[in-house]
Structure 1
Amino acid sequence: MDKSWLGTRVVTQIGILVNDIEAVSQAYADFLGVEKPAWSWTDPAEVARTEYNGQPAAGRAKLAFFDCGQLQIELIEPDEQPSTWRDYLNEHGEGPHHIAFVIDGMKEKITLLEKRGMPLAQKGEYTGGRYAYMDATRDLKLWIELLENDK
């Protein structure tokens, strides 16, 4: 039986905040020896139903993904609107933002992590599922992203 809080220990993704997704995407493509992926915008707030710190939020980001076997590298260039991405980038600069886990039972996992001192900061929907960013910086020194895909 898996004793992890999330029911998995498999890290699915590392999210990295950047100021220039074009330049950093090219640098990763060169480093990995792959084609530079196209970036795309996150859905607008009315589609994603984004909430940041418990309030509706308009923050969006450009995303580019590199699939590296079991692990995906996600590059994130936020717009200027308030979001976990923008605030973290402004405070800490470019670099790692989160590690992500694919989970089942989003509401239950959010409640569990909040009870353990990791508050929900941002959540939203994407085509095929939903995400939640949990502030685990006190204990784990970065954010945890929960990803729940529709079945």
Structure 2
Amino acid sequence: MNSNILGNNVITQIGLLVNDIEKTSKAYADFFGVDKPNWFWTDAVDVAQTEVRGVRSEARAKLAFFDMGSLQLELIEPDQHSSTWRDSLNQNGEGFHHIAFQIKGMKEKISLMEAGGMPLLQKGEYTGGRYAYMDTFSELKVLVELLEND
């Protein structure tokens, strides 16, 4: 693969999977001495257009965000539908899920990564942009999330 395939090397987000977003977001808020963020549901499938391994999915998750300077901490409590979130939580328990990078040209970046042996696991839309989880685990030992804002 070409060097700097993403167009930058700045990690913008770390994602953690949790079983109880209320409890965990309170624990982080107390630890950091900040206000507990409100959590919200990801959009329903008709808006999010969620696909997991190329198949449309009803998967949703509760999300809470802590902005920590240049890095954002995302807490994710998935519902029971099949998703990278649910699969990872079931297999590995709570904890680390992904690192994320802001990119431009989502389709191009996905194609380049897939050509380099890093397949698309899950993608979807959110208000103001889109995301894609790439299976970079065998190479990078972590999932990479691509974030593209409009």
TM-score, normalisation: structure 1: 0.96
Amino acid at match of 2:114: E
Q: CA separation in 2, counterparts of 1:130 and 1:12? A: 15
Q: Counterpart in 2 of 1:55?
A: 55
Whichever residue aligns with residue 95 of structure 2, its letter is G
Task: Give CA deviations for 1:51-93 in whole Å, capped at 9, x if unaligned.
Answer: 0010100000000000000000000000000001000110111
What SS is found at the alignment partner of 2:89?
Answer: helix
Letter in 1 for 2:107: K
Unaligned runs of 5+ in 2: none
Runs of 4 or more consecutive aligned structure 1 residues displaced over 3 Å after TM superposition: none
Indicate the residue corresponding to 2:12 in structure 1.
12
TM-score normalised to structure 2 length: 0.97
| Partner of residue 23, structure 2 | 23
Unaligned runs of 5+ in 1: none
- Aligned-residue sequence identity (percent) comes to 67
1:44 is aligned to 2:44: yes
Matches within 5 A, 1:1-151: 3-150=3-150
1:117, CA displacement in angstroms?
1.4
Residue aligned with 1:62, SS = strand
Structure 2 Cα separation of the partners of residues 12 and 70 of structure 1: 7
Report how far residue 5 of structure 1 moved: 1.2
Q: What's the Cα RMSD here? A: 0.6
SS at match of 2:139: coil
Distance 2:141 2:76 in 1: 19
> Once the two structures are superposed, what CA deviation does each residue of 1:16-37 show, in whole Å capped at 9, x if it has no partner?
0000101110110011110100
Local SS of the residue matching 1:138 = helix
For 1:87 and 1:143, the matched residues in 2 are separated by: 13
